[in-house]
Amino acid sequence: MWYQMKMRAQAGGRHLSGAERILPQPLLPQQAETLARRALFHSRGVPEQVVLKIEKIEPEKIVVLDALAVSEIRAASVTEAWQALENLLREEGFTAEHILTLFRETYPMRGAMLLDTETFGRWEPDFQRGIRVTGMDALDSALQTTESGKNAFREALVLATKTAHAPGIVGEICVSDDPGYVTGYFASRRRGYVRISPLKEVGDENGGRLFLYHGSAEEVALCLDYLEHQLVQVRNIPSLPDSPPPNRWERLRSTLETIRTKGLYRQIPEMESAPTHHIWFQQRPHIMLASNNYLDLAHHPEVEKLVQEVAAEWGTGSGGSRLTTGTSPWHTRLETSLSQWQKTESALLFNTGYMANVGVLSTLCGPDDTIFSDELNHASIIDGCRLSKAKIVVYRHGDLDDLERKIRQEKPSRGLVVSDGVFSMDGDVLLLPEWLKICEKYGLFSMVDDAHALGVLGETGRGSAEHWQTAQPDISVGTLSKTLGSEGGFVCGKELLIDFLRNRARSFIFSTALSALSVAAAWKALEILQREPWRVRKLRENVHFFCRELQNAGISVQSESAIVPILIGDERQAVSSSQQLLQKGVYLSAIRYPTVAHGKARLRAALSSAHSQEALQQAATAIAEILRPLKPL
């Protein structure tokens, strides 16, 4: 025995939910409970009245139909979804725009509009109510999921399949009136069931249904009778495909777009000549004021000659990590030279300065440590701190009172203080003696990154310790890539420290060693630097000269190192100033967030011992010409 079951829930005269089933008798109790639950716990509200009607039917009057084929349009926006629906209607030969305008009139209706595609007349007997399609169910409705989204789909597909087979019906448009459900569809026997989303924003209760009728006036009665009374079971309902995962590239695209609009977009400029004080860029000569090749050793004939010899003997690449097969005599020789130069017991090469900082901090410090870090420390120090999982305490830039206050506050049982020796974007110098005293007083490791101090600070360019006439910090980090004109980084300190790093520093252990070429180049450059201290003096003279030239032109600058920051502030202005300088043949980097704080964008001049005074004068004039209109002097 078969029954039709109808549920309808309402509150305050308002329809809340409804559902119907065509079921064999044994399933009635269980399905009655399911539908009662659905009525009582609906997202649209608590019902005041639930009607559950169960009527016996004649099974031979049930027509079984195959579900319409399902396809899907996922638009990027509501506008695009409606555009897609409009296009679809047009493709199917309908007067799309007019139909969609009329569709809005279905929003307040309980049922559907029956629209004549020829005359645009409406065939519903009651315009306010509309036509209610009833007497349909899925063949296996008792197996329905409990997910409301999937029910909505199945029930809509059942209704659409029945409707599509009605005499005279050539199409259907539906948008859910559920505020949480933004999907709708177009359906016809020809086109199948085309799900479209999103046809509205979440929270919008405007939904409706419209049937497109093409036929004679006499047949309308037949159509209405079919829709309202014909018993239909729909079989072969496909399971709703899982929604596709979100587009993983979208975040990248939109982030880049944001970066662009903020003037923070970066591109890699390609140089057309070797990195020296004078370069070719964009097919024109430029005075180079943006290279860290401070003592002009990257291109030195003796370095080049040695590299050629080493290349002939050792080829390229080292073939392994330092602890396996990657160590040549050049590696050992350079480490010895570096430690002698820095007057420490030992030294260890890393592949970059970045890896040296990350390696030391993450190896020496762990969750039980506290790292005190200057707020303007280089990114590689920040990353090393993060990787160490130590507690990170940032102290105000160069503010030793703040440092000591924070150490007292934290009372760390173990820890490390870390600072740039010369700050990379401001060019100012760490007050090493006082700073070391604080580290010593509280028993904390002292770590100084001298990347921009080597070859620059101190009578002979030995860096911070020489400049301040102090002992070396516990850990001193340097690079081969700036003053030494090659590539790589290194750490100097006690043999105990270096031995520890050799055994534990992951960025050291798990990297293929630098090639003998890079290492030999740095070794030769270090030899020249030590042999020719005039380079260091010349660089210092150049900095003084350049700063004086700028000051005379009304630009306030100051530097104790080879880095001369020229503060601009606004990101876009900094970029456009550097572009204007390029036009004048001066290559100078604009430094922006995140390298420096927001609103602290600047031009950063990096000087070389090889610059002539004429070139520096010319550059200073160009800078003043461009910047003077920007700033009240």
Residue environment code for 168-193, b if the CB has 16+ CB neighbours within 10 A, otherwise e: bbbbbbbbbbbbebbbbbbbbeebbb
Pick 94 or 103: Cβ nearer ligand WAQ: 103
Both structure tokens of 470: 């102090």
Question: What positions carry a catalytic annotation?
Answer: 424, 452, 482
- Give the residue, chosen from 99, 133, 288, 310, that forms a contact with ligand WAQ under the rule CB under 6 A: 133
Please tell me the number of Cα atoms within 13 Å of 267 on its side-chain side: 6
Give the neighbor-by-neighbor strand order of the sheet with 586-587. 278-281, 284-288, 586-587
Pick 109 or 465: Cβ nearer ligand WAQ: 109
Q: How far is the CB of 197 from ligand WAQ (least distance, A)?
A: 8
Residue type, 218: E
With CB cut-offs between 5 and 8 Å by kind, which of ligand WAQ, Mg ion, none does residue 185 bind?
Answer: ligand WAQ
CA distance 176 to 65: 23
Q: Say if residues 216 and 235 touch (Cβ distance below 8 Å).
A: no
Q: How far is the CB of 135 from ligand WAQ (least distance, A)?
A: 10
Q: Which 206-235 residues touch ligand WAQ, going by CB under 6 A?
A: 207-209
Pick 110 or 537: Cβ nearer ligand WAQ: 110
Q: How many residues line the site for ligand WAQ (CB under 6 A)?
A: 24
CA distance 417 to 435: 9
Q: How many residues line the site for Mg ion (CB under 5 A)?
A: 2
Q: Which 69-128 residues touch ligand WAQ, going by CB under 6 A?
A: 106, 109-112
DSSP-assigned letter for residue 25: G
DSSP letters for 399-456: -HHHHHHHHHHH--SSEEEEEESB-TTT--B--HHHHHHHHHHTT-EEEEE-TTTTTT
Q: How far is the CB of 44 from Mg ion (least distance, A)?
A: 8
Q: Which 178-207 residues touch Mg ion, going by CB under 5 A?
A: 178
With CB cut-offs between 5 and 8 Å by kind, which of ligand WAQ, Mg ion, none does residue 174 bind?
Answer: ligand WAQ
Residue type, 298: A
Q: How far is the CB of 43 from ligand WAQ (least distance, A)?
A: 12
Cα torsion 362, 363, 368, 370: sign: negative
Q: How far is the CB of 15 from Mg ion (least distance, A)?
A: 9
Binding mask 172-211 for ligand WAQ (x = CB under 6 A): --x-xxx--x-xxx---------x-----------xxx--
Q: Does 415 bind ligand WAQ (CB under 6 A)?
A: no
Q: Report phi then psi at 67, rounded to 5.
A: -60, 145
Q: How far is the CB of 12 from ligand WAQ (least distance, A)?
A: 17
CA distance 519 to 525: 10
Q: How far is the CB of 487 from ligand WAQ (least distance, A)?
A: 58
> Using omega within 30 degrees of 0 as the cis cutoff, is the peptide bond preceding 594 cis?
yes
Q: Report phi then psi at 331, rounded to 5.
A: -60, -50
Q: Does 155 bind Mg ion (CB under 5 A)?
A: no
Q: Which 164-183 residues touch Mg ion, going by CB under 5 A?
A: 177-178
Q: Which 145-164 residues touch ligand WAQ, going by CB under 6 A?
A: 152-153, 156, 159
Pick 178 or 571: Cβ nearer Mg ion: 178
Residues that bind Mg ion (CB under 5 A): 177-178
Residues that bind ligand WAQ (CB under 6 A): 106, 109-112, 131-133, 152-153, 156, 159, 174, 176-178, 181, 183-185, 195, 207-209
